[in-house]
Amino acid sequence: MALQSIGDYGRQLERALKGLEFEEARWMPTPDSNHILWTLWHMGRMEDQWSWYLRGGGANAWIEGGWAERLGIDPERNGTGDSIKQVRDFPEVSVKELTGYWQAAREMLIPSVEKLTIDMLEIKRTKIWTHAPDSAPTLLWVLGRIPVENSQHTGQIAYIRGLYKAKFGTEHSN
């Protein structure tokens, strides 16, 4: 079920990103809104972070895959808690580059989910959840969290594109 949900929002995201140009991807509907590039990056970070957690640690696309360095973003950031200034100051990276990172993270996420068994679902990775070991989530919670959060972000991207089209009259089809 989790794999189906992850696949579904992934296909929806790819449709929402189709034909996305840099100007549209950086557009903020209000001065205090996220833009599409930041949201796409955050989605990749969440997939990367949660697949790392599901596996119990090890390599991830962000650090070991070199994406933090390539994109010029602090390796410790994942978007959670970012200020609007950090969103505005997000590096001028291309849609293609960020999509590449999201895909690299996804290539690690899918096998991480596939390797889980029903007996593993109540596991909490307290040894790697060092910032709050007492509140480490179960693997089952993580499996539910990934599609919920990233489906919401996919909808946000599609919504921003709709707002952009309404304001500037550009065509985009899903």
pTM of the model: 0.94
Domain ranges of the chain: 2-168
Q: 36-55 and 2-17 are packed helices; what angle lies between their axes, rounded to 10 degrees?
A: 160
Q: What pLDDT digit, counting tens, does each position of 63-112 carry?
A: 999 999 999 999 999 999 999 999 999 999 999 999 999 999 999 999 99
Q: Please tell me the chain's helix, strand, coil percentages from 3-state DSSP, rounded to the nearest 5.
A: 60, 0, 35
Angle between helices 36-55 and 139-168 (to 10 degrees): 170
Check: CB of residue 68 under 8 Å from CB of residue 62: yes
Is residue 125 a contact partner of residue 136, using CB atoms and an 8 Å limit?
yes
> Whole-number mean pLDDT of the chain?
95
Region 146-153: mean pLDDT is 97
CATH architecture of 2-168: Up-down Bundle (1.20)
- Give pLDDT, residue 39: 98
Label residue 52 by pLDDT band (50, 70, 90): very high
Give me 108's structure tokens: 């690690």
Q: What is the pLDDT of residue 150?
A: 96
What's the pLDDT score for residue 63? 95
C-alpha radius of gyration, the chain, whole number: 16
> Residue 3's closest CA among 159, 114, 117?
114
Between 155 and 172, name the one with better pLDDT.
155
**Cα–Cα distance for residue pair 35/88, rounded to 1 Å:** 8
- pLDDT of amino acid 1: 75
Q: Are 160 and 36 in contact (CB under 8 A)?
A: yes
* Whether pLDDT at 38 is above 90: yes
Q: Return the amino acid letter for 105.
A: A
| Residue 173, pLDDT above cutoff 90 | no
